[in-house]
Amino acid sequence: MLDEIQKVRGFGDVVKAMWDDDRRHDRSLQVLLLGSSALLLAAGVTESLAGRFFLHRSSHWSYGECQRAFGWDLETWLFFGGYPGAASLIGEESAWRSYIADALIETVLARDVLAMQAVAKPTLLRHLFVLAAHFPSQILSFNKMLGQLQDAGNTTTLAHYLHLLQSAFLVSGLQRYSPGFARTKGSSPKLVLWNNALVSALGLRSFDQTQADPAARGWLVENAVGAHLVNHLQDLNHEVCYWRERNAEVDFIVRSAVGLFAIEVKSGRPSRPTGLAAFRRRHPEAIPLIVGSGGMPLEEFFSTDPKQLLSSLASGSSGNTL
């Protein structure tokens, strides 16, 4: 078991040579390569170990994990997210924010993204990330992003940088759902940050202020639902997106091998009329799910593996559908 393997220059070639030598001499040896830099680790294995590795993804800590490890309740997890290294700092929010911004966000951007990719405008990439953190779980057109960012280049540049942020497990730009296997390319993305700490650390509201603001808490809840889905449904058998036509919208659509699922989040914030009925008129095979008020309780949803939940819904064993 080799930890932080990405710090060894050219580790892929060395491991490959040792692997081949083990095979020639019939050695029964299993190797686990660990690394905190997802992009550097992925580059090392894909370049030299093609066909010789199996990837295990360690996602952001879930509500259940933080509850068992730190005794957090749901509201604490929704605001402070799932970074275990920062758990001891939540009593002093200014120190917690600094830790998240300096030790996590900046480190990942500088070490993972900018070190691995040819980024012509690194400042723009950072500004795009900050913009996403201020609009969690909201749909923003690339043209609107261009209006918010200085020296923004063009929509193609923004789409590429958003893809880089997703590859570092920071931000996903969910596409609008369309039937068939082709997603709606060029649609306005729905920005979902993979950990709510990324939202709260860069925001202006404290924990108490967020609790007192239904709209702010509502965006955190909706982003947490999206983050829970993307963290656990990363394989090729699942696709997470959203749906919107005119005034009708469904927060999250999941297309998988077991069915099509329409997920509406009810968090208490003022919301548009539900789009579930409109979506089901167009896609009657879709299985609806309400998360929050009037549906599956938030704690139950965040404590359940989405794969198990979807399978349960598809088999008709759950009573939380609309």
Q: What are 170's two structure tokens?
A: 């920071």
> How far apart are alpha carbons 69 and 48 in whole angstroms?
37
Mean pLDDT over 191-218 rounds to 95
pLDDT classification of 47: cutoffs 50, 70, 90: low
- pTM for this structure? 0.88
Mean pLDDT, residues 218-244 = 93
Paired tokens of 9:
């220059």
Tokens of 6: 């990405």
State the Cα–Cα distance between residues 81 and 105, nearest whole angstrom.
13
User: Of 120, 137, 139, whose CA–CA distance to 198 is shortest?
Assistant: 137
Averaged over 145-153, what is the pLDDT? 76
Q: Is pLDDT at 68 greater than 90 in this prediction?
A: yes
Q: What percent of the chain has pLDDT over 90?
A: 54
Q: Which pLDDT does position 272 carry in this prediction?
A: 56
Q: Would you state the pLDDT for residue 175?
A: 94
Residue type, 238: H
Burial of 161 (0-12, 13-18, 19+ CB in 10 A): buried
Residue-range domain boundaries for the chain: 5-48, 63-314
pLDDT tens across 154-185, in order?
A: 888 889 899 989 988 999 999 999 886 545 55
pLDDT in tens, 271-313: 555 789 999 999 999 999 999 988 999 999 999 999 999 999 9
